[in-house]
Amino acid sequence: MNALQPNFSTRLSLALRAFWRILNDGSFAGGVLRLESGEGASPVLPGEPPKPAPLRETLPDSALQLLALLQQEGRFVDFLEENVTAYSDADIGGAARVVHEGCRKVVRDYLQIEPVRAENEGARLTLAAGFDPATVRLTGNVVGQPPFTGTLMHRGWRVARITLPKLAEGHDTRVLAPAEVEL
């Protein structure tokens, strides 16, 4: 079946679902009216996921700059590129401690990170209708509509401020660490 040319039974099912939704949901009905008038609002039928927001291009320079700083201070890329299967847990733990210290320094120097939620982990909380799903991920048995009451398992993290160093004109951010040649 072609999604753009659904068969009769699919169209009938769609029409019945839309009919009942239009009768029971004013905002959905408004979306259908906008669609019919050519404004392009596409309603979401029950059981169908909403269409994802359009994607935008991002510039990789800041991400590459941060990765280069993590490499410079914590040898982060070296650690990730190393095949650690041949090393003991104690050896890996020792290396991880050095990488952790350097990477933590970079994060503390260039990023101000804060918790998304102020409550302590383990606290019971209620999420009212209209909560921001970009800042809270619901897990477990998620059914129905808000308000939702549950236990905070992780406070989340967000970046409050970024203060990366300025780059010189012509700097190639794709070079995370130059090759080293000892003479």
pLDDT tens string, the chain, 183 residues long: the values are 455 677 777 777 777 777 777 777 777 777 777 777 776 555 555 566 667 778 887 778 899 999 999 999 999 999 999 999 999 999 999 999 999 999 999 999 999 999 999 999 999 999 999 999 999 999 998 888 999 999 999 999 999 999 999 999 999 999 999 999 999
For residues 109 and 88, what is the distance between their CA atoms, to the nearest angstrom? 32
Contact 103, 74 (CB under 8 A): yes
Q: Which residues, in sequence order, are CB contacts of 174 under 8 Å at separation 6+?
A: 64
Crossing angle for the helix pair 8-24 and 26-36, nearest 10 degrees? 120
pTM score of the predicted model: 0.62
β pairing state of 111-115 and 157-162: antiparallel
Over the range 131-151, which residues count as b (16 or more CB within 10 Å of their CB) and which as e?
eeeeeeeeeeeeeeeeebeee
